[in-house]
């Protein structure tokens, strides 16, 4: 087993995450690897130094911290704070604009349908007028003068 793997096992040992089977393997390997033994000694020294220097915090300090966090959370919850107000206002404005654009889109579709209906009606009327104009007989105009004038329609 290489030194890096042993160092990993040593770290797990000091974190109380090492199983009993691996613990036996660790101490067996430590007897054979000098570098790993030195690392184990340093970690053990560090662990003892941390335990000696740690102080017990008073209970009042823990309560003050918890109440301070609770008060900050309560102050952050208002809905219309400066940051949230602009976000909410922009979302509301975008929703209103979307609704208005949908309304105008539907209105434009209605107008388009009306225009198409009107155009087809006008087109059919144009066809009827053309048909009537083509069915009119030729007109002969006879003046009272001596010269005879004939007007023919050429539609």
Instruction: List the domain boundaries for the chain.
Output: 3-76
pLDDT of the residue at 34: 87
- Tokens (6 digits) for 23: 């613990």
Q: Per-residue pLDDT tens for 108-126?
A: 999 999 999 999 999 999 9
Helices (H), strands (E): how many in the chain?
5, 0
Q: How many residues does the chain have?
A: 155
Question: pTM to 2 decimals?
Answer: 0.38
Whether the Cβ atoms of residue 23 and residue 13 lie closer than 8 Å to each other: yes
- State the Cα–Cα distance between residues 84 and 147, nearest whole angstrom: 96
Whether the Cβ atoms of residue 5 and residue 12 lie closer than 8 Å to each other: no
End-to-end CA distance of the chain: 109
Whether the pLDDT of residue 17 is over 80: the answer is yes
- pLDDT range class, residue 3, cuts 50, 70, 90: confident
Q: Which one has a higher pLDDT value, 35 or 76? A: 35
Q: Per-residue pLDDT tens for 92-104?
A: 999 999 999 999 9
- State the Cα–Cα distance between residues 117 and 73, nearest whole angstrom: 63
- State the Cα–Cα distance between residues 95 and 76, nearest whole angstrom: 26
pLDDT of the residue at 111: 95
- The helix/strand/coil state of 108 is helix
pLDDT of the residue at 97: 96
């Amino acid at each position: 087993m290489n030194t890096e793997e042993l160092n990993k096992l040593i770290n797990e040992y000091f974190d109380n995450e090492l199983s009993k089977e691996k613990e036996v393997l660790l101490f067996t390997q430590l007897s054979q690897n000098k570098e790993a033994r030195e690392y184990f000694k340093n970690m053990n020294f560090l662990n003892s130094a941390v335990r000696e220097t740690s102080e017990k915090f008073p209970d009042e300090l823990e309560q003050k911290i918890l109440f301070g966090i609770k008060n900050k959370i309560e102050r952050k919850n208002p809905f219309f704070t400066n940051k949230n107000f602009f976000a909410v206002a922009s979302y509301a404005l975008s929703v209103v604009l979307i609704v208005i654009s949908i309304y105008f889109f539907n209105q434009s579709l209605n107008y388009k349908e009306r225009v198409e209906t009107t155009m087809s009606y006008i087109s059919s009327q144009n066809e009827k007028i053309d048909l009537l104009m083509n069915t009119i007989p030729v007109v002969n105009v006879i003046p009272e003068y001596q010269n005879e004038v004939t007007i023919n329609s050429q539609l």
